[in-house]
Amino acid sequence: SKLPSPRQSMPVRYFIMKSSNLQNIEISQQKGIWSTTPSNERKLNEAFWESRVVYLIFSVQGSGHFQGFARMSSSIGCEKSQDWGSAVFGGVFKVDWIRKESIPFQFTRHLLNPWNENKKVQ
């Protein structure tokens, strides 16, 4: 028999949010909002409704660093934001930034993701 997924009934969920540029993260930190691609919206909304808390860990692609982390504080709606100036993003949702700090991936190389073939978290 199959064992249940370790994700079932998880009170806390974590997601790595990759941004194409630092400006998007700065906008998020100033306005307390975020937007992602429509393909990510379903996963994040499910996590928001099924978990006690959802943490988003932000990293700019190619930076080799995490730029901080926030708590997802609303579900993703249909309203879009012009702040990012791109049509590829979906609806906006609220985030509460907890830590705004650049942390090199080398400081987290001991963290492995059991739901992604134990690959490094970066």
Predicted pLDDT of residue 45? 93
Segment 28-82, tens digit of pLDDT: 999 999 999 888 999 999 999 999 899 999 999 888 888 999 999 999 988 887 8
In a domain, 34, yes or no: yes
Instruction: Please measure the distance between the N-terminal and C-terminal CA atoms of the chain and give it in whole angstroms.
Output: 33
- The CATH code of the domain that includes 29 is 3.10.590.10
Domain count, the chain: 1
Nearest to 55 by CA among 44, 45, 66, 69: 69
Q: What is the CA radius of gyration of the chain?
A: 15
In a domain, 4, yes or no: no
In a domain, 6, yes or no: no
**The whole model's pTM is what?**
0.81
* 56/122: higher pLDDT: 56
Distances (CA, A) of 78 to 22, 36, 72, 98: 24, 12, 16, 25
Is the pLDDT at 2 greater than 60? The verdict is: no
